[in-house]
Amino acid sequence: MLTGKCFCGAVQYSVPDAFTYALNCHCSNCRRTTGSAFKPFAGIVRREFTVTQGADQLLIYGAEKTHDAHCRHCGSLLYSVVRDGAYVHVALGTLMDAPTLRPTAHIFVGSKAPWFTITDKLPQYEGHIP
């Protein structure tokens, strides 16, 4: 079991080390929510993800079935609920433990930050993976 938390520690979660996929997203929304060049995330079925502390401290931005969950104190983006509520995209930078799965591709490079250069050899996709 992996654990994660926000910057201030008010919100904590656990998730099995059984991610279905992991990617680096360069879309403008992910760049804005993370304040970075891209968002490294790993996807898992929503029922496998558990907020273990501070659920009442979450700031939910979006709808029930598609939203970003931030700590209302420090602002950390912890996860996103996607795919009609079926999956959670865990922001990899919030994990306290290293997951087995590493990002396997870059997505939405068509809207990547113009000041950032991708230097690894992972596949790159203009949008989502086909």
Mean pLDDT (the chain) is 97
Residue 12 maps to a domain: yes
Q: What are the tens digits of pLDDT across the range 83-112?
A: 999 999 999 999 999 999 999 999 999 999
Residue 116 maps to a domain: no
Which residues in 16-44 are b (16+ Cβ under 10 Å) and which e? eeebeebbbbbbeebbebbeeebbbbbbb
Q: What pLDDT, on a 0 to 100 scale, did the predictor assign at position 18?
A: 98
Whether the pLDDT of residue 11 is over 90: the answer is yes
Q: Work out how many domains the chain is built from and give that number.
A: 1
Q: Which one has a higher pLDDT value, 64 or 51?
A: 51
The percent of the chain in helix, strand and coil, each rounded to the nearest 5, is: 15, 40, 50
Residue 59 maps to a domain: yes
Residue 117 maps to a domain: no
Residue 54 maps to a domain: yes
Residue 100 maps to a domain: yes
Q: What pLDDT, on a 0 to 100 scale, did the predictor assign at position 75?
A: 96
- Identify the CA nearest to 13 among candidates 70, 86, 64, 74: 70
CATH number at residue 102: 2.170.150.70
Domain region containing 58: 2-111
pTM of the model: 0.93
Residue 122 maps to a domain: no
Whether the pLDDT of residue 130 is over 90: the answer is no
Residue 47 maps to a domain: yes
